[in-house]
Structure 1
Amino acid sequence: MSSPAGPQRPPRDERPPRDIGRQIKVWFRFVPREGWLPYDTEGLWATRLSADTARVDNVPFLQDGVAEGETVRFRTDADGVHWSTGRVADSGNCTVRVLSLPDGPLGRDAHAVHERFAPFGLGGEVFSADFPLVALTVPGGADLRGIKALLARGRDEGWWHFEVSCATDAWRAA
């Protein structure tokens, strides 16, 4: 007499991951822009929410169309690298990148850029000392009109170049 085999074990990729709630690196692929940094991938820290979703925990320097706080879906390759496959949920945040002009009044001082945006309570990161690109997270509840006015003023007065790499409807309407 044989005993029942019991429930089948799920395949490896169907088991719940052990690192839910922990930070993982999620990688994004994109086509490099001409005249810009020569990268075609960017890794962002994210908190794993499920087997294939994570919430982005930092501001992107290179990847367009995603902001801190967004939920993204990913697939994990055979080497254990998590590759983004798309956005699942918006955060309501925007991503703005500011690069001060070396011959402008702020020089190459990323701290001076941060100081200009401090009254708005914006957080961000600096790419490097050699390339002082400041990537800012603009929360949906921030003074969007005021931030847009400061960005335009800085551009017009020769402080910086800027780009909005992830915008919301609220940003566009402000």
Structure 2
Amino acid sequence: MESTVEKIKVWFRFVPREGWFPQDTEDLWATKLGDDAAIVQSIPFLQDGVAEGDVVRYQTDAGGLHWAVGRVSTAGSCTIHVVPVPTGPLGRSPQAVHQRLSAFELGGEDFSEEFPMVAFAASADADFTGIKALLDQGAEEGGWQYEVGCGTVRWWNA
């Protein structure tokens, strides 16, 4: 008997941040674990407090949408958002951001051409100290601004 892996979209609701995007939801691909839990398989751009590999609980509404209601467990990964400064040495290039961080072999996705934010997933065994040092250096050089959308104790202590 073959087992099939069911991919679903899990939706998250949040309060939009002033000066950011007007969206108050974000959908993330996930692998269904049962009727009410799934493993997040994509990197969040807007939703804080969840990272790729985390298990979330969800409720399915009458329209068939799966809405996240909480995180069940963490994979230990971190989500980092990096936005190149248009007037900085990297310009508006998400590719240049990927290149600068390539030594760390982070998974990353670009938001859009209009807003060149890159969302990175740093796995639990990543070199958090090295990543943080390079992120700080890039910010000090005026190349980018960054924020941590989901950090772990290991990240904050690195």
- Equivalent residues, number: 156
Larger relative contact order, structure 1 or 2 (CA cutoff 8 Å, min sep 6): 2
| Counterpart-to-counterpart distance in 2, 1:24 and 1:84 | 12
Instruction: Name the amino acid aligned to 2:88.
Output: G
1:20 positional shift: 6.7
Instruction: Name the amino acid aligned to 1:135.
Output: A
| Counterpart-to-counterpart distance in 1, 2:29 and 2:86 | 30
Question: Which has the higher Rg, Structure 1 or Structure 2?
Answer: 1
2:30 equivalent among 22, 28, 46:
46
1:29 equivalent among 7, 10, 13:
13
Deviations 1:139-164 (A, max 9, x none): 11111100000000011000000000
Instruction: Name the amino acid aligned to 2:92.
Output: R
CA contact (8 A) 1:20 1:48 kept: no
TM-score normalised to structure 2 length: 0.97
TM-score normalised to structure 1 length: 0.88
Percent of pairs with identical residues: 57
Q: Which runs of 5+ in 1 are unaligned?
A: 1-18
Is the counterpart of residue 86 in structure 1 residue 63 in structure 2?
Answer: no
After TM superposition, the structure 1 = structure 2 runs for residues 66-77 of structure 1, keeping only pairs within 5 Å, are 66-77=50-61
Q: Which runs of 5+ in 2 are unaligned?
A: none
RMSD: 1.1
Question: Could you list the runs of 4 or more consecutive aligned residues of structure 1 that deviate by over 3 angstroms after TM superposition?
Answer: none
Alignment partner of 1:152: what SS?
A: helix
1:129 positional shift: 1.0
| Counterpart-to-counterpart distance in 2, 1:39 and 1:46 | 20
| Counterpart-to-counterpart distance in 2, 1:116 and 1:157 | 13
CA contact (8 A) 1:71 1:89 kept: yes
| Counterpart-to-counterpart distance in 1, 2:40 and 2:5 | 12
